[in-house]
Chain A
Amino acid sequence: MQVRRIVIAGGGTAGWMTAAGLSKLLGPLGLDICLVESEQIGTVGVGEATLPHMRFFNRTLGLDERELMAFTNATFKLGIEFRDWARIGDSYVHPFGDYGPADQEIPFHHVWHRLHAEGRAGRIDDFSLPVRMSERGKFDFPSTDPDNLLSTFSYAYQLDASLYAKYLRRFSEANGVRRIEGRIMSVERNGDSGDIRALALESGERLEGELFIDCTGFRAMLIGKEMGAEFDDWSNWLPCDRAIAVACEMAGESVAYTRATARPAGWQWRIPLQHRTGNGHVYSSDCMSDDEAADILLGSLEAKALGDPKFLRFKAGMRPKQWVGNCVSIGLSSGFLEPLESTSIYLIQAGITALAELMPSGGVDTRDIEEFNRVMQLEYDRIRDFLILHYHVTERDDSDFWNYVRTMSIPDSLREKIELFRSRGVVQEYKDGLFLHPSWVAVYLGQRVMPQGRDPRADAMDEARLNEMLDLPAQIERKLDPCAAHEDAVKSYCKPRMAAPS
């Protein structure tokens, strides 16, 4: 059946990003897109830290960055600081950028390994501009000149995701998306094909369509309950299954990075926006009670809590079939990976891009379904391994939780990666999917996985070149000296634009 009407079920971040993306990219095809959401049910209401890829999504939509940042109370994000992960007292930044000079003959961490072993270099962090920019509380935009040190990083945002969804709603409606307020009560299927024919709302209204996009969040009303797409449970590797979230007033200056502090049975986030700080505690209910988790979170807030804490439950994993029949899942309905590396919004974006490229012209084609599922599986697998890495390469033995994750068996794909780095400092690279070479280096070294050996070419490097490299930290500091403080950079960038609704 020709796809003319697309029904998006759910109006959280996933629903409105999908509506905005599809209406922009496929608008000229005359598709009829409607979105149904229920204020009564509401959204998950968390998800504030993002990855640099979001900028490309916004750019494709043609959004004005200043206006968007002002509207969503956004700050810039240069990376994530991890505290207490390998040992209590440790800290490192996983930057959106690289280590070492802009031009590299061999991956810089091998050179650093040598210089460090010879006692000539301290932290590798001092060789990364985005790490130092974060630490010094500064911000500037990346340069497009590849010879400029300011070209060695990228940035993302920390924003109020519900305002982002609101912003996209306005954009989508202006682009012809119809919004329907209402609660979906049941799903009508076509007896022969099993495809979804319509959604029946509480009001009695029926929403017919040829393609249905499940953005109903954890409920997975269409893809899970109706279409029966199975869920691959990854909780043996990622045992955190609960979170408590609460915002607090700003204390001190806002910084351009998210913080993830390890706790006895999980970890706690801190995400500074312009006007408040988002906080949350992610933990394993096997190892900690909700009360204890709440005490830890509330006891560590830097300032007065704004509102009551919100309790959330989830399970790590994904649906290998994210597209079944004429139903595609995007967002939390498709799977969940904890927000340790802020990957959920990225996964939404990946789903939208793949769907736009594979949007049925004519009827739904199984080849499109298979390709969509293949691409999304790859994305999930790669993020999964990277997240497990954070837990597994630890020396912590101060709680049942850390003893479990440190000693658990891990996917073969990850085990090979870790062995290779541990022995010879080689980062196993891949072409598609998230997290490039520097991200892996950041977490390995940040969590004390020091390679036994290194690339012998680092030992053959001549003194003049080594001295150039050793001068890099000083060059970085000089580059950063004139940069504005992050807070001032945000203020002056967003100031003249529309403010967020109160």
Chain B
Amino acid sequence: MSRTVFILGDTVEAWATGLYVRRVLDKLVDNVVIAPSAEHRTSEPSALVAPPQTKRFFSSLGLTEEILFREAGASFLLGAEIRAQETFTLAYGQYGVPANSVPFHHFWMRMMDVDAAAPFDHYSFGAELARSGRFVHPSPDPKRIESSFDYGYTLEGTAFGACLRAQALSAGVMQASAQDIEEVSPWLVLDCTGRESRGNWVSWPDLPESFSVDEEVSEEPSGNLSVYTVQRLADGVSICLHPRKPTVTRRLGISAGGECRTGRSEAPWRGNAVSLGGSACQLPGLHSPQFLLLHAQLDLLASLLPAENVAVDVVAAEYNRRATRMMDNVADFDALALTSLKKAGLWRYSAPSLARKAEQFVSRGRPVTYDDELYSEQDWIAAFIGAGFLPERVSPLALAAPLEAVERNYEGLRRAIVQAASRLPDQQQYLDHLLSIQQGAPNAV
């Protein structure tokens, strides 16, 4: 029997999935066919966030940095700027450095207690770069401060969609109509319509019931390329994204009655059909986990592909167990992100997973993480502190070092961060330089 994979939907996720199947699972699949679906999401976002973890995804798709710059309007992304009562930079990478295996935030709390601490995000090289709009590729030398951060991309939506489509078509992904699909029996159907899949939908108690993308405005490029900003509005959230051009401001409505029902599929894999991306999971996504989730889902799917003489139910059950846990963990991170825009520190969560995380963080600064997390402990720590959750007590292991030495060390680190960052170029300059090299020699990046 020939193995045909049908991908439903004419979305960015669909084309990325098609390309993934061709590149990563090529020999296992005879045909990859994309069919637009009447139900697919109508409008694609004008700008997309690809956090650092997705670099590996893009690399498995064969999308080099050079292609992303040339064809998808990419800029380098260092994190988010969260504008609440105070502004916090949620950067990718390290905050401070641990001492004797004790995470930095415990020492930071000690300094806070004696009013000797700068804001938490001033101890992160990534955050410093992000704030100052500078950029350089991380150093491979772990001893250098310039190795302590990571980066992702902001992509221009339409261009990236077109780029994925062109790459997928040239990799052998075929296009068909919805009718064609009815005539052939596929081996696997991947639902990438971006629309809530049929079947049971599970909601999350700490996220609003529904949300909507109320408006998306594209303007002449302006502002800091290295971050996206997240800000609270009266009835929603405004997120401003910076691909090289244009600058895109998205207004998310998070009051009741929004067009998207928040939640996830109870069982994204049923029979031979798997819902991916938006059709498996809908959430406001202040930190745009779209590609993070899609990548994790595809990798999981690849590791659990049906094998001959094995009932599909067995792998489907395992897929559902893990994929739903991933989505729940991401939903918790999103719920925390929403909190960071509100009055901080007084928050109580209903989901036991997040409630425990918050409780332990506030109690002792312990980052509790579970199986199938897509965010690291460091991400959680920074997100909690950025959201105004401060540990009431620190780890006793952090109390062993004399306070003076702690202050001296970390003040030294902070200075070194500012100094090292000040020597680096503005991202626009760095990009101009890269692009000029690229135009001269296509493989230079």
Q: Is the CB–CB distance between B304 and A424 below 8 Å?
A: yes
Q: Is the CB of A426 within 8 A of B318?
A: yes
A312-367 with Cβ < 8 A to chain B: 356-359, 361-362, 365, 367
What's the least CB distance linking B317 to chain A, in Å? 8
Interface bits B66-100 vs A (CB < 8 Å: 1, else 0) = 00000000000000000000000000000000000
Q: Does residue B440 face the partner (Cβ distance < 8 Å to A)?
A: no
A106 interface neighbour in B303, B309, B359, Cβ under 8 Å: B303
0/1 string, A44-71, CB within 8 A of B gives 1: 0000000000000000000000000000
CA gap between A452 and B306 in the complex, in Å: 12
Complex contacts, B393 vs chain A, CB 8 Å: 361-362, 365
Binding site for A on B (CB under 8 A): 25-28, 302-311, 314-315, 318, 359-360, 363-364, 366, 368-373, 393-397, 399-401
The answer to whether B27 and A27 have CB atoms under 8 Å apart is no
- Which residue of chain A is the closest to B26 with respect to CB atoms? A460
Decide if A452 touches B400 in the complex (CB within 8 Å). Answer: no
Contacts of B303 in A (CB 8 A): 106, 426, 455
Q: A29-B399, A426-B303 are in contact. List 16 more A-B contacts (CB 8 A).
A: A25-B397, A106-B303, A356-B396, A361-B393, A365-B363, A367-B363, A371-B366, A420-B314, A424-B310, A426-B318, A432-B371, A452-B310, A453-B310, A455-B303, A456-B28, A460-B27
How far, in Å, is A355 (CB) from chain B's closest CB?
10
The reply to whether A357 and B318 form a contact with Cβ atoms under 8 Å apart is no
User: What's the Cα separation between A459 and B28 when bound, in Å?
Assistant: 8
Whose C-beta in chain B lies nearest to the C-beta of A367?
Answer: B363
Cβ of A454: which chain B residues have Cβ within 8 Å of it?
307
- Give CA–CA (A106, B303) in the complex, Å: 8
Distance in angstroms from B335 CB to nearest chain A CB is: 20
Q: Which chain B residues border A356 with CB–CB below 8 Å?
A: 396-397
What B residues does A29 contact at CB under 8 A?
396, 399-400
Query: Which of A361, A423, A457 touches B396 (beta carbons < 8 Å)?
Result: A361
B123 CB, nearest partner CB in chain A, Å? 22
Q: Given A357, A365, A428, A432, which contacts B395 in the complex, CB threshold below 8 Å?
A: A357
A420 to B318, Cβ gap below 8 A?
Answer: yes
Across the A-B interface, give the 10 residue pairs with the lowest CB-CB distance, nearest first: A453-B307, A460-B27, A453-B310, A28-B400, A367-B363, A359-B396, A423-B314, A424-B310, A423-B310, A431-B371
Q: Give CA–CA (A320, B283) in the complex, Å.
A: 36
Q: Which of B304, B359, B366 has the most CB of A within 10 A?
A: B366
Residues of B within 8 A of A28 (CB): 399-401
Say whether, besides A357-B396, A367-B363, A423-B310, A457 and B25 are in contact (CB < 8 Å): yes
Q: How far is the CA of A298 from the CA of B271 in the complex (A)?
A: 58
Q: Is A487 an interface residue (CB 8 A)?
A: no
Report the minimum CB–CB distance from B369 to chain A (whole Å).
Answer: 7
Please, how many angstroms separate the alpha-carbon atoms of A432 and B368 in the complex?
11
Can you list 6 contacts pairing A with B, beta carbon distance less than 8 Å? Answer: A356-B396, A367-B359, A371-B363, A455-B303, A457-B302, A457-B305
The docked-state distance in angstroms from the alpha carbon of A420 to that of B321 is 12
Chain B residue, CB-CB nearest to A359: B396
CA distance A468 to B232 in the complex (A): 56
A358/B364 contact (C-beta < 8 A), A426-B315, A431-B370, A457-B25 known: yes
A419 at the interface (CB under 8 A from B): yes
A296 proximal to B (CB < 8 A): no
State A460–B371 Cα separation when bound (angstroms). 29
B contact face: mostly helix, strand, loop, or mixed: loop
CA distance A368 to B359 in the complex (A): 10
Whether A431 contacts B369 in the complex (CB less than 8 A), given A28-B400, A29-B396, A371-B360, comes out as yes
On chain A, the residues within 8 Å of B309 by CB distance are 452-453
A326 CB → nearest B CB, Å: 16
CB-defined contacts of A357 to chain B, threshold 8 Å? 364, 366, 395-397
Q: How far is the CA of A239 from the CA of B394 in the complex (A)?
A: 43
Contacts of B395 in A (CB 8 A): 357
Residue of B nearest to A3 (CB): B396
Please tell me which one of the listed residues B318, B360, B401 contacts residue A367 in the complex, with CB atoms under 8 A apart.
B360
A23 to B368, CA, bound (A): 26
Please indicate the chain B residues that have their CB under 8 angstroms from the CB of A429 in the complex: 371
* In the complex, per-residue mask of A407-443: 1 if CB is within 8 Å of any chain B CB, else 0: 0000000000001100110101111100000000000
User: Which residues on B sit within 8 Å (CB–CB) of A362?
Assistant: 393
Chain A residues, CB < 8 A from B373: 431
Q: Which of A26, A368, A371 contacts B397 (CB 8 A)?
A: A26
A431 to B377, CA, bound (A): 12
Chain B min CB distance to A55 (Å): 15
In the complex, which residues of chain A have a beta carbon less than 8 angstroms from the beta carbon of B396? Answer: 25-26, 29, 356-357, 359, 361
Q: Is B302 touching A430 in the complex (CB atoms < 8 A)?
A: no
Partner of B304, one of A358, A426, A430: A426
> Residues of B contacting A426 with CB < 8 Å?
303-304, 315, 318
Q: Which residues of B contact A456 (CB under 8 A)?
A: 28, 305-308
A106 to B309, CA, bound (A): 20
Identify the closest chain A residue to B368 (Cβ).
A371
Chain A hits for B401, CB < 8 A: 28
List, in ascending order, chain B residues with CB within 8 A of A367's CB.
Answer: 359-360, 363-364
Q: A424-B304, A452-B309 are in contact. Are A368 and B315 (CB under 8 A)?
A: no
Complex CA–CA separation, A99 to B394 (angstroms): 41
A428 to B394, CA, bound (A): 34
- Chain A 442-468, CB-CB to B under 8 Å as 1, else 0, gives 000000000011111101100000000
Residue of A nearest to B373 (CB): A431
Docked complex Cα distance between A452 and B371 (Å): 27
Chain A residue nearest to B360 in the complex (CB): A371
A432 to B371, CA, bound (A): 8
Q: Which B-chain residue is minimally distant from A417 (CB atoms)?
A: B318
